């Protein structure tokens, strides 16, 4: 999960909940992926229908709880050079991948995020292979006490490097499958002891209802994918995510003692929808 796999969400309809029952031990299998640079002819073109990353778009997620509000601003950076891209070197082979900036705000007064509310800043690195799988190559995460007051966090990792001196380099994982099948599980991060996120397809063809007044798109959305994402280093912390075709991530429900929901709002997404190609994105918080 990224912002270091940040979470977002709110409201789920009964059909989406029912779809969770589709995944069972008898149908589940663990998929294994091996990175091969030859499979990445155009890694910056990320058009997976459930996780499209269109450069220049920003998506804003909002959640409200007893202690205030949270906002997450997810921006797919533009350009085919830094800061819109990053070179990742794995076993001597270098690949150029897309950079996503993820800004997390905590607003006690619920009067809108401002620079002083910045809590976490993350840069996530994604690329798509020739088969349509979206890979996750790492993240650079900062803990913040307002804009301009950020320090590098312990969740940072980069594929091909051993930045924590564990004795083994981190490996890229797969963030979104090209052909998701109910029950399939897959590694999203593989840096033993520091980044061990997993994903599992829990259901397909689900309907999701966004309930916020400022939600985008409003009302019911069909043809959605339901995933469960978790970190093996954080027992009891699970995220349930809803990715809808040709939109992307619309809802995240985080379970870590209590449920907390983030929902996609219309800021940024509405303007993108008016263009011929509306694509989405996030990755996600740890």
DSSP class of 133: P
For residue 122, how many C-alpha atoms fall within 13 Å in the half-sphere facing its CB? 32
What is the per-residue pLDDT across 184-235, written as a single tens digit (0 to 9) for each?
999 999 999 999 999 999 999 999 999 888 888 888 899 999 999 999 988 7
Helix (H) or strand (E) holding 223: strand 219-231
Q: Which structural domain range is residue 13 located in?
A: 4-285
What is the per-residue pLDDT across 8-60, written as a single tens digit (0 to 9) for each?
332 333 333 333 333 443 456 899 999 999 999 999 999 999 999 999 999 89
pTM of the predicted structure, to 2 decimals: 0.83
Residues 6+ apart with CB under 8 A from 92: none
pLDDT band at residue 180 using 50, 70 and 90 as cut-offs: very high
Strands (DSSP E) found in 80-132? 85-90, 93-107, 118-128
Q: How many domains does the chain have?
A: 1
List phi, psi (to 5°) of 171: -115, 145
More confident residue, 113 or 31: 31
Is 201 buried (19+), middle (13-18) or exposed (0-12) by CB count in 10 A? buried
CA distances from 282 to 3, 134, 235 (A): 8, 11, 23
């Amino acid at each position: 999960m990224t912002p270091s796999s940040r979470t977002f969400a709110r409201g789920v309809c009964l059909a989406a909940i029912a779809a969770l029952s589709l995944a069972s031990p008898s149908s589940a299998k663990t998929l294994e992926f091996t990175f091969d640079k030859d499979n990445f002819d155009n890694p910056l073109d990320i058009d997976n229908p459930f996780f499209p990353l269109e450069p220049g778009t920003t998506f804003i997620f909002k959640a409200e709880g007893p202690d205030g509000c949270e906002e997450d601003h997810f921006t797919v950076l533009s350009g085919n050079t830094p800061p819109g891209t990053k070179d990742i070197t794995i076993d001597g082979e270098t690949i150029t991948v897309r950079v996503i900036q993820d800004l997390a705000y905590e607003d006690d007064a619920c009067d809108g995020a401002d620079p002083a509310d910045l809590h976490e800043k993350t840069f996530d690195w994604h690329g798509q292979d020739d088969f349509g799988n979206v890979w996750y190559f790492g993240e650079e995460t900062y803990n913040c006490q307002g804009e301009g007051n950020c320090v590098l966090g312990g969740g940072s990792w980069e594929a091909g490097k051993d930045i924590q001196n564990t004795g083994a380099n981190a490996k890229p994982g797969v963030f979104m499958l090209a052909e998701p099948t109910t029950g399939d599980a897959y590694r999203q991060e593989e840096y033993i002891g520091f980044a061990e996120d997993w994903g599992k397809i829990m259901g397909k063809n689900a309907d999701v209802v966004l309930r916020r007044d400022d939600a985008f798109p409003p009302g019911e959305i069909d043809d959605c994918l339901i995933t469960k994402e978790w970190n093996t280093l954080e027992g009891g912390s699970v995220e349930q995510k809803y990715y809808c075709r040709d939109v992307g991530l619309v809802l995240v429900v985080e379970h870590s003692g209590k449920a907390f929901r983030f929902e996609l709002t219309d800021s940024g997404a509405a303007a993108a929808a008016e263009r011929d190609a509306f694509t989405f994105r996030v990755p996600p918080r740890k």
